[in-house]
Amino acid sequence: MLARDLHAQEGWAALAGALGDEEEAYAFSARTALMWLRPDAFAAGTARRVVAATAEAGFTPLAVRPIRLERCAVRALWSYMCRWATAERLILMDALVALGPGLLVLWADDTGGPVSVRMMAVKGRNDPARREPGSLRDIAGSPSRALTMLHTTDDPADVVRELAVLCSWPERAGLIAEAAARLREGHSADLDQALGGVERELPPLGLPVLEAGAPAPAVHELFTGPVDKRWAALVAASEGWPLLRRTPGPAAWPEQETRSPWQ
DSSP 199-230: HHHS----PPPPPTTPPPPPHHHHHSS-HHHH
User: What is residue 211's predicted lDDT score, i.e. its pLDDT?
Assistant: 81
Alpha-carbon gap, residue 51 to 49, rounded angstroms: 6
Query: In Å, how far are 43, 95, 153, 160, 207 from 234, measured between CA atoms?
Result: 11, 7, 25, 31, 11
Q: How far, CA to CA in Å, does 238 sit from each of 43, 101, 144, 177, 189?
A: 14, 19, 7, 38, 34
Nearest-CA neighbor of 167 among 1, 40, 15, 52?
Answer: 15
Q: What does the pLDDT read at residue 259?
A: 41
| pLDDT tens across the length of the chain (263 residues) | 566 889 999 999 999 999 999 999 999 999 999 999 999 999 999 999 999 999 999 999 999 999 999 999 999 998 877 778 899 999 999 999 999 999 999 999 999 999 999 999 999 999 999 999 999 999 999 999 999 999 999 999 999 999 999 999 999 999 999 999 999 999 999 999 999 999 999 999 999 988 877 788 999 999 999 999 999 999 999 988 888 876 444 444 333 333 444 43
pLDDT at 156: 97
Report the pLDDT value the prediction gives residue 2, as an integer from 0 to 100: 63
Strands (E), 38-172: 60-67, 102-108, 150-152
The pLDDT score that the predictor gives to residue 4 is 81
